Structure 1
Amino acid sequence: MFIRYLGFVLLIWFPGGLHAQDATQSCVAPSLDGGFFSPKQDTYYHGTKLTYTCENGHKPTVKGWWASSTCQNGKWSHEPRCIDEKACFAPTIPNANYTKNQDGWYEEGYKIRITCDTGYEPKNNDATAVCTNGTWSSVLVCEKSTLACGEPPQIPHALIIHQGYQEVFAVDSEVQYKCKDGYTMGEAKNKKSIICISGNWTPGPTCRPSTNSGLNDRKPPFATRPSTNSGLNDRKPPFATRPSTNSGLNDSKPSFTTIDQCGSPPNVLDGLVVEESLRSLTYKCNSYYKLIGPDTVVCYSDGTWSEVPTCADRFCSVNTDKDPKLIPNGVTYIKYGDTVELECKDEHMFKNFSVARCTDGRLTVSRCCNRLQIRTNTC
């Protein structure tokens, strides 16, 4: 009588205990065909852990010969189940996607085909695997494509306008830069972006101090103009080349002066300024182009620039979208003297490739061959 009374008092003092018990749901015992579990009960309170194993010829749906599952608010953390021991678990393949089974396992004979992430390709051209006797027929790997690029180069005083960091960029990827405050790329003379071409990034922009940034003390000393209070001879830059007294008609040719007297630097398509001095600009073409003409440009005293170079093509291009034997993948660029393997359309077990060669601007594209034919130069 006393114990019953004491229990009644405790229920009055701790009503929250009843509410907490009602707030969580119990789990019913699993139906485990081909296995057994412990502890054996009809229902299990929230938080109870159940251990199970499977009979010969079967295995749990998680790795190992035994497994455990926990009751969580009326559901098991994973449904206890025994499957055929010849079934396969889902493989872990970095940088790849494939059709995933919601159950997390695959029956024997099931075939998966991977699709590598952008910038990656199947190693050894192996993109499929078959579940055989509990294991996959091959280990699928996605490795960085030979045409892909690594992380973009770091440019002083600039940052990349790109959503999220990534280590690999597919061919033809474009990355844009932006100068930090106080710096500028000039009047669009520098390209603001770089492009991944056959594993290499094209040259990037240059960020120079802005002329209206308020940082006048950082302005290059050669940008100042000659003093207006000096004599006529003093107004001529000290290093300017004077006309030869024996030149005759050449006396009319203007002398050189500082480059700030000529205004904005000349724009060279597919090229950029790689060196700037008091009296000259040095140009360089992008990696897929050749410089034609002088690489150095100077400013004449009459405010005109000397001969400006041009950048001529040094590459071939293949539009895989227009070649019926190739898998369409856009335009591929090939430097002079280089070769590129392009994947062919075929139904063979192993992939075939066409070899594209660029020889002094002349493009040749071979028939579709296997790897052995390519390595032995019989393609």
Structure 2
Amino acid sequence: MSIKPSGAAEVLHTVDCPPPPTVKDGDYLPKRATYKTKKFVKYSCSDGFTLYGRKRLRCKGNGQWPATPVCVENLCPAPPTFTGGTFSPVSASYSPGTIISFLCNPGFHLVGPAGSTCQDNLSWTEIPCCVETECGDPPTIADGTFLLTPSPPYTPNDIIFYICPDPTTHRLEGPVVMTCQEDGTWSANPLCVLIECGDPPTVADGTFTPSPPYTRNEMVTYTCSSTHTLEGPATITCQDDGTWTANPVCVLIVCGPPPSIPLGTFSSIQDSYSPLDSVTYECCNGITITGAPTTNICGIDGTWTLTGASLPSCTPTVCPPPPSVVQGVIPSSDQKLTYSINEVISYECNFGTKSGNSATNTSGADGLWTNTFPDVCLEM
């Protein structure tokens, strides 16, 4: 057995360290096969990761390394409480560069950006907020007003009613109700429109006065051309609904057949006559026409210029030869071309005169014989 000299220093034996443990998402330097006691290695993490633990580790004399650090991914925490809405995607933490989107609940609207980004410093860009939506004052309309039900402020689905205060002069066009919408705007508003009628209906061969514009209860009057007459109301009225009452028509003026005269006729003969058409009278059987003018004219009012006593007349001065008789003759002494008014002739019967009959005939004042078809002679 050997004995150490007294007072001699104790000699320590050391062991080299193997390569240190690897770190996920990180690395160390320098790299060697073995490390002498008290030699250091330095750890670092990949981009986006943070080192937790000691960065420098020293090889111990027993050949061991101290506790190894870890690399933890850099993450943003969940965004602050978002009242009145929701965001997506929802997670406990977020990687830098992640964008979340915000959406407000009905009745709220977003103030600020619609999205926020997780930054490299693990903070969020601006976070918006959801504010309860309100509509401003309802739009005013000319010649109209609205009923405040409810009172302001106005929130989504609140409604107001519009009216035209004087319905006799204005009518409401458009929706009666306006609604405060989810985006803080009002739905379409109506208009109070002056009650007016368009141009009155045109009437063929007619005109009307006065000229536009035409408001409620205003009237126009129609007149026809000189060759037409008005049928229906001469005046029509602009009504409350902007329409006109029924209009008249202008009808062509015509005259019916002209009045006749005894013992006479007229020409030309037609079913109807236009204004200023004329007819000419003449007498039958050579009778002379006397009295008024022989021309009758259809007037512009549809009546003839000559009527009644103003018509000409046919006054006979002679009669034509009398009618012949069966089984009899007119004596040669009574035979002539014309006969005076009230002249009497006698028939000569071959077999005698019928009982109760006179064998005479008389020319009348109307130029006709009193017995038109004499049947006075006996027959065998």
Give the alignment's TM-score, normalised by structure 1: 0.25
Give the alignment's TM-score, normalised by structure 2: 0.25
Q: Give the greater-gyration-radius structure (CA).
A: 2
Q: Which has the higher helix share?
A: 1
